[in-house]
Structure 1
Amino acid sequence: MVQYIQVNDYETAEFDGEWVVLNTDKYTVTKLNEIGGFCWSMMKDAQTVDSLCQAIEQEFGRASDNLSEDIEAFLYELMEYGLIQHAV
């Protein structure tokens, strides 16, 4: 299974359930919702789509049919922004 991990320990801040990630390498700011911030914090260690989905379901009590698709799209965007990479 493919695993994902943060590229660097970028500065983050949480305000009223929304997260901001400051990519100091590319001078960008990425805003995440509560679930995105939760996933981001988990990716300090290598995670798979399945491990993230299970953690979301446990933490937020949310189980949806398309959760894994949503997480895959989210991870793709974070990779495009240079915030995460495939774990080795």
Structure 2
Amino acid sequence: MKYVHCNNIDWKEFDDESVLLNLSTGYYFRLNPVGTFIWPLISREHTISGIADRVVEKFDVSQHQAKTDMHDFIEQLLAEQLIQKA
């Protein structure tokens, strides 16, 4: 499954963290360093599995942990209306 950023999202990166602002709702969402790494990969049409592979390489976590965390992260981004299915 592939996802894309919603059009109404503004993204600002600060050091190793980011803030996403939903311009429609006015709500913001803070990303930790891993989320900040993942966010631009979503817009490049990577699959969730492909992004998990990149997380394993970058952050030295297990494949299982990366996929589990990716699933939870994607669900959270969908719930906050920050991404949508491609």
Q: Same fold (TM over 0.5)?
A: yes
Is 1:85 aligned with 2:84? yes
Contact 2:18 2:30 in 1 (8 A): yes
2:54 aligns with 55
- Equivalenced residue count is 86
TM-score (norm 2): 0.85
Mind listing any 5+ residue stretches in structure 1 that lack a counterpart? none
Gaps of 5+ in 2: none
Distance 1:46 1:84 in 2: 12
Alpha-carbon distance in 2 for matches of 1:8, 1:80: 15
| Structure in which a larger fraction of residues adopt helix | 2
Greater than 6 Å deviation, 4+ residue runs: none
TM-score normalized with structure 1 length: 0.84
Q: Give RMSD over aligned pairs.
A: 1.6
Identity %: 27
